[in-house]
Amino acid sequence: MSVYKYDEAIVRDLRHILQDNRIHIVPPENVFRLLARIDKDTIELPAVSISRRGWSLSGSRPHTMKFDGTLLVHVKDDDTNTDKYVNLQAIPMSIMYQMDVWTKTREENDNIMRELIFYYSTHPTLNVEIPYGSKDNVPYHHKFNIFFMEDIEDNSDIVNHMNRGEYFRQTISFYTDDAYLWKSTSRGPTVIDVDVLVKGEPRDENN
């Protein structure tokens, strides 16, 4: 499972709490083009957009699951009638994001940004579905947390207000540092062939 699954989890959560299906992972410079396409050439504000700024492997966190992994499921292979084990491996990583709030007034922008900060500061835990499920195709779930950075930037493009209509934009960065790169492997049971040759004098059964 790649990084984009965390993108999807964040977008899904934002769409739910804001009741707005227009939220996507999109660079800020493409937000108005996306909104115009969704809203049939009209740009409806307020809007919230997310962009991923990058990700990195977390060398300081233990990599115990990198090699050993964890047993996800034990199933019977119908084709060969043998046991099959699905193992889940993981490498820890951190992902950086940017959230932009777009509104027609500064007051509305401040209010939406305040509500988002309060909500995710008190409800930071999200859920990601890892598509390596059990024999019943139930996905494996992993919980991760998002944390806001301290600075909020005012990126309102006053120069282009005349061209696009007046709008205000504030930006806040956030990150998750308990994400993982996931990989599943499947194998049959480990079988060790033992060929023992016992040397020495035969035992006297009468003693």
Domain extents for the chain?
Answer: 4-187
Percent of the chain clearing pLDDT 70 (strictly above): 67
126 has a pLDDT exceeding 70: yes
Q: What is the mean pLDDT of residues 58-70?
A: 57
Residue 165 banded pLDDT, cuts 50, 70, 90? low
77 has a pLDDT exceeding 90: no
Q: What is the mean pLDDT of residues 12-39?
A: 94
Burial class from Cβ neighbours inside 10 Å (0-12, 13-18, 19+) for residue 88 reads buried
Q: What is the mean pLDDT of residues 67-86?
A: 56
Q: What is the mean pLDDT of residues 198-202?
A: 54
Position 179 scores a pLDDT of 92
CATH number for the region 4-187 comes to 3.30.2000.10
Position 2 scores a pLDDT of 83
Is the model more confident about 71 or about 108?
108
181 has a pLDDT exceeding 80: yes
Position 194 scores a pLDDT of 46
